[in-house]
Amino acid sequence: MDPERRLARRAGLSLAWVVAATLAVVVGLVAVSQVGASIRGRGPLGNETARAAELQEGSAVPLADAESVRATVEEEFGAFVVECRGAVAYGIEARPDRAAGWRTVSYEPGPDDDVDAVFANQRRSIDLEVFCNRGRPTVSELERNTLPDE
């Protein structure tokens, strides 16, 4: 085989490889963007009926036979007690660690699909969100913030 044909063949194979790699990346990006919400989502919430119900803020109603599961989320801020009845969350109590300077800014009692509490200590705050995953209290978000200097 003469050198020109070999060079042309290598160039053709290189071009085919680049096209295949680009196509694979594009297909991967499209697949992740299409399925991304379920990958990044909270996961299954348990009972199909409760999940299908359109829950408006503060209007969630637990199923009559839903088991009640209570858990306490404890961190440097203190504790947030949450109870799940099926897929419905209740914020039972927010207990700040007053000795360490923490206070409760707000907390959502529910019933709702998720409940949250905000704790603050001078220039710091912690925003905590809990939902019911298969009837068990699960932290979905814990956001730590520092207020800017004035």
Q: In this structure, what is the dihedral angle of CA atoms 69, 74, 79, 81, given to the nearest 10 degrees?
A: -10
Band of pLDDT at residue 65, cut at 50, 70 and 90:
confident
In this structure, the answer to whether residues 37 and 52 fall within a common structural domain is: no
In this structure, the answer to whether residues 18 and 65 fall within a common structural domain is: no
Band of pLDDT at residue 55, cut at 50, 70 and 90:
very low
Cα–Cα distances in angstroms (integers) from residue 107 to residues 119, 133, 141, in the given order: 9, 20, 14
In this structure, the answer to whether residues 76 and 123 fall within a common structural domain is: yes
What pTM was computed for the model?
A: 0.58
State the residue range of the domain holding 83. Answer: 48-146
Cβ contact 110:89 at 8 Å: yes
Q: What is the pLDDT of residues 16-27, one digit of tens each?
A: 999 999 999 998
Greater pLDDT, 121 or 40: 121
Greater pLDDT, 47 or 87: 87
* Number of domains, the chain: 2
Q: What is the pLDDT of residues 28-46, one digit of tens each?
A: 888 877 776 555 555 554 4
In this structure, the answer to whether residues 91 and 135 fall within a common structural domain is: yes
Query: Which pLDDT value is given to residue 66?
Result: 75
In this structure, the answer to whether residues 60 and 123 fall within a common structural domain is: yes
In this structure, the answer to whether residues 29 and 88 fall within a common structural domain is: no
DSSP structural state of residue 101? T
Query: Which pLDDT value is given to residue 37?
Result: 54
In this structure, the answer to whether residues 133 and 63 fall within a common structural domain is: yes
φ/ψ of 51, rounded to 5, equals -65, -35
Greater pLDDT, 57 or 142: 142
Query: Which pLDDT value is given to residue 51?
Result: 47
pLDDT more than 90, % of the chain = 53
In this structure, the answer to whether residues 15 and 57 fall within a common structural domain is: no
Query: Which pLDDT value is given to residue 99?
Result: 94
DSSP structural state of residue 100? G
Query: Which pLDDT value is given to residue 96?
Result: 95
In this structure, the answer to whether residues 32 and 83 fall within a common structural domain is: no
In this structure, the answer to whether residues 59 and 126 fall within a common structural domain is: yes
Q: Residue 94: beta bridge partners?
A: 80
